Amino acid sequence: MGVIGYNIMGKPMGKPPKRRKVIYGQNFLINEAVARNIVDSCGFSINDNVLEIGPGEGILTGLIVGNTKTYTMLEIDPFYYSFIKGKFNLNKFGGINVLNMDALKFDYIGLSRSLSSRIRVVSNLPYEISGPVMEKFIKEKDAFSDLTLMFQKEFARRLYAKENDRERGALSVIADINFEIIELLEASKSDFNPVPKVDSTVLKIIPKYHADDNYLWAVNSSFFNYFVRQIFKLRRKKLKNSIYASFFGIPSDIKEKVFAEVNIDLDKRPQELTTTEFVKAAKKYDDYLKTAEKRYNKRRL
């Protein structure tokens, strides 16, 4: 998808419309000091292609516009799509694109290709799309140089949780194999309007690229994601109990053998495993299933 054709070439829109009740679960950041810290942490330059998801009332926008090579804004709400165009005299800047589009449906790979460059993302994400949008970012991670994103504090903890952390879950493992995740700063619920019920955390998310063959397999394998989610079905149970609730087509003794061959203690719980242990176990499972399939197909011939 190209950038040309979305450029704002018309006349200034005049005064922005007055705020109205939100309909997409937005909580608008109103603390200018926090906004400045977020943008400063990004370190955007005139050579960067930046995308902001949900500019809303423009507290981040005002600090970014005019300071990057291109600047794309995705705003799903028609009201705030008009609002952001009216608040800033955008036609005096080059490379500005305001799109009335859903971030969950946008083609990030297409934008990156049209720019011949990876893009840098910044957003105060609506809490309700945090999970789905992270899954989309994982699928399209080759589009990104980095992402600076604000999440509900509890979701952020689950996202970057490592082994032996009670918050660790399937998304933690899948995110860890795809991204380096760095906690940047926290924001109080009082920094937003409407005021949410929870505090927020800003994370820097940087794509990882692996040389190890097993990691390369895991990143590109839908089976790895499926395997991790299966293992976390009974996350509080020990592995020797939880493995019986997954992969029903594999005999129990084979399941135990797979974990033994990669030196994983079945008395551990899923959240205690390292990402490397998940990769090794998933690869063993995948190898077993492929071998079993070949044997089955030979018997049918």
pLDDT at 173 over 60: yes
Confidence (pLDDT) at 18: 53
Whether 23 shows a pLDDT value over 80: the answer reads no
Q: What is the pLDDT of residue 106?
A: 97
**CATH architecture label of 213-300:** Orthogonal Bundle (1.10)
Tell me: pLDDT of 71 over 80. yes
Give span(s): CATH 3.40.50.150, the chain: 28-207
Question: What's the length of the chain?
Answer: 301
Q: Kind and range of the H or E element at 206? A: strand 200-207
Preceding peptide of 17 cis, ω within 30°: no
pLDDT-based confidence at 15, cuts 50/70/90? very low
Q: Give CATH superfamily name and number for 28-207.
A: Vaccinia Virus protein VP39 (3.40.50.150)
Residue that has been written with the tokens 């970057």 in this structure: 160
Q: How far apart are CA 137 and CA 151, in angstroms?
A: 14
Q: pTM for this structure? A: 0.86
What does the pLDDT look like over 207-251, one tens digit per residue? 999 999 999 999 999 999 999 999 998 878 899 888 777 776 778
Angle at 103 between CA 139 and CA 96, to 5 degrees: 115
DSSP H or E segment with residue 250: none
H or E segment and range at residue 41: helix 32-42
pLDDT at 21: 52
CA nearest to 62, candidates 82, 84, 45: 84
Where in the chain do CATH 1.10.8.100 domains reside?
213-300
What local confidence, expressed as pLDDT, does residue 25 receive? 59
Q: How many CB atoms lie within 10 A of CB 84?
A: 24
CB 50 within 8 A of CB 64: yes
Give every CB contact of residue 179 below 8 A, 6+ residues apart in sequence.
138, 141, 205, 206, 207, 208
